Structure formats: structure tokens, C-alpha cells
Amino acid sequence: MFDWSMLSVVFTVVFAATGLYALARLARLLAGEVAVGDRLVELFHLAMSLAMIAMAWAYTGGPETPGGRTEVVVFGAFTVWFAYRAAVRDAAHSPLANGYHVAMGAAMTWMVAAMPLIMGSSHAGSSGGGHHGGSAPVESAEPVAPPAPAPGWVVVVTIAFVVLSVAAAAWWAARAVRAGDQGGHADAGGTVLTRTTVTRSARLEASCHVLMSLGMGGMLVAML
């Protein structure tokens, strides 16, 4: 997806960490080993982590590809669900946590749906991850036009999602710092955990969200 393979490696490490954490949490919730948590939230984090890794290595493309269309539908559905849950103000889920997941779901949907506009449309006809820097055949008789610059409004929306991602990372970082000072802690689903839960677990969860948020912002910046 990017011109620098090292950048793809960095994104892979970041999202492998968030994906493994989400998978472990989901497995424990399904097995009944922990009573507090949100299976849908962990599934969302796992799906987003896997999709980000695939995008980093150009395994998926924009909305014109089957993988891209699937991602738009899946993450669009997640976004709508979290928005609905935030609107109904379910006492079991924190409005801020729901708002965070709405922002992450919307950013993920935007990233895929607007990929041709963000990264330029010269490779729009390529298969798979053709938007991610694929090159023309060496023996092509016709010159390949350079990618068209992203429209101004697309850049503005993308930067807005970057700002949201950075703000979310700062919020989760603050929660990680305060985790040991509070009598309770709201997990990814917004459910309050008592002090009997190990503080280290609360900080690990918040740190995972920091990685997810920074990874999202970094991916959007790299696409511009």
C-alpha cells in the first residue's frame, strides 16, 4: 500500500498487537472466563486489526474490489450499530466509549470508500490492491498518467479523522495513567469494572486503544 516497506511492517506490528489482544479478550468472553466485556466490541477490534494489516500489504483495495466492498458494508454496519447504541444511551455502555467506536468505524469506512479519491485514481482499474502503489507493466505502449491529487474536501475530511484519532489516543492514554487511581474502570464496552480487577489489565486495555487510534491516524496520513 505504501512506497516504504518498513512502514507496512510498522503497521503490521501495531495491528497484530491490537488484533491479538482483541482475539484473546473475545476468546475469554466466549469461554465465560470473564463476565465483564463486550463481544461485539472485541469482534470489531479484531476485524479492524485484520483489515488494517491487509491494507498495509495491499491485499485489499478500494470500493471497486470485492474485498473493499465487503469492508465498507461490514464497518458501515458496525458504525451504525455503535451510533444506535450511543443514541439510546444504554446504561450498560459508556456514551464516550460508544462515541469512540463510532469514530473508529466511520474512519475505517471512509478510508476504504474514499481510497480512490485519497490516493489518486490512476490505478482505479487495477485488481486487488492496485490503489496501493501498483506500477504499470514495463512494456506498456501507453504512458501512465500520474495519480490525480485528492480533492480539497477529501483532504479535509481525512485530516478531521486524523485529528479525531489523535484525540482518542490522548483520551485513552489519560485513562491508562489514571487507571490505578480510580475505584472503577470502564472497559471497551463501557461496563464498569471494580477495583478487584487488576490495574494492569485496565492499563493494557487502554494502551491497546491508544495503539489502535494512533495506527488509524497514521494509516490515514500515509494515504494522503
pLDDT digits (tens, 9 = 90+) for 207-223: 999 999 999 999 999 98
The upper half-sphere exposure of residue 58, i.e. CA atoms within 13 Å in the direction of its Cβ, equals 18
Residue 139 has pLDDT above 50, yes or no: no
CB atoms near residue 79 (< 10 Å) = 21
Confidence at residue 189, expressed as pLDDT on a 0 to 100 scale: 47
Confidence at residue 196, expressed as pLDDT on a 0 to 100 scale: 43
Nine-digit cell string for 148: 490525480
Residue 58 has pLDDT above 90, yes or no: no
Residue 158 has pLDDT above 70, yes or no: yes
Do residues 156 and 87 make contact, with C-beta atoms less than 8 angstroms apart?
no
* Mean pLDDT over the full length of the chain: 80
Quick one: average pLDDT of 66-79? 94
Quote the CA–CA distance of 72 and 63 in Å, as a whole number: 7
Q: Is the dihedral of CA 52, 57, 60, 62 positive or negative?
A: positive
pLDDT digits (tens, 9 = 90+) for 82-135: 999 888 876 667 788 889 999 999 999 999 999 989 887 544 334 444 444 443
Which has the higher per-residue pLDDT, 12 or 34?
12
Share of the chain above pLDDT 70, in %: 74
Residue 56 has pLDDT above 60, yes or no: yes
Name the band, by pLDDT with cuts 50, 70 and 90, for residue 1: low
